[in-house]
Amino acid sequence: IICFFFFFQAEDGIRDAQESRGLGDVYKRQDLVLYGNHLSSLPETFGKLNVGGSLSLARNCLTSLPESFGKMSLGLDLSLVGNPLASLPDTFFELEVQGDLQLGCTEMSEMPPSAAQLSVGGDLTLYDCPAADGWREFPRVRGVVRRLSTHRDPPDASY
């Protein structure tokens, strides 16, 4: 008698209430972690990325983001904590973040009017982000908006 056993791991080990849509989702849910790599810039083509999971660009040396950034397809969370960003491109606020957005410890002095368009499915956390002090409402944030102005060491945002 010959027996064959087959084992298929569902969704790269991810088991949740969402129904499986096949093995194609294995790669669609992967995170892109560029945490602490001393990146000083991103290519203009960065916005063409399709990140199915979380994207962490935390604790780099980014002073700006490419205009294409807001065109990126992002599945879950985004962290830009700890970058000396002086401003964000207007297209950034076209980005739809399905999960949490961590944006803090930057050098931004003001938020553009388009910031009210920011769409966040989870929480928006603004650590030491004086630019956000003037903004009291983010109507398209479904979770909690947290502002901590005395916190000098941002949380570990590596996802």
- For 135, phi then psi, to 5°, come to -95, 110
Task: State the CB neighbour count (10 A cutoff) for residue 50.
Answer: 10
Mean pLDDT of the chain: 75
pLDDT-derived band at 104, boundaries 50, 70, 90: confident
Distance CA 54, CA 32 (A): 6
Q: Tokens 């083509």, residue?
A: 45
User: What phi-psi label fits residue 58: left (phi over 0), alpha (psi between -120 and 50 degrees) or beta?
Assistant: beta
Measured between alpha carbons, how far is 118 from 139 in angstroms, rounded to an integer?
8
Calculate the CA dihedral of residues 56, 60, 64, 69 and round it to 10 degrees: -20
pLDDT of residue 21: 45
pLDDT, residue 35, reads: 92
What are 68-84's pLDDT values in tens digits?
Answer: 998 888 888 999 999 99
Closest residue by Cα to residue 84 from 67, 100, 102, 108: 108
- Estimate to the nearest angstrom the gap between the alpha carbon of 98 and the chain centroid: 9
- Compute the average pLDDT of residues 56-71: 93
Helix (H, G, I), strand (E, B), or coil: what is residue 145? strand
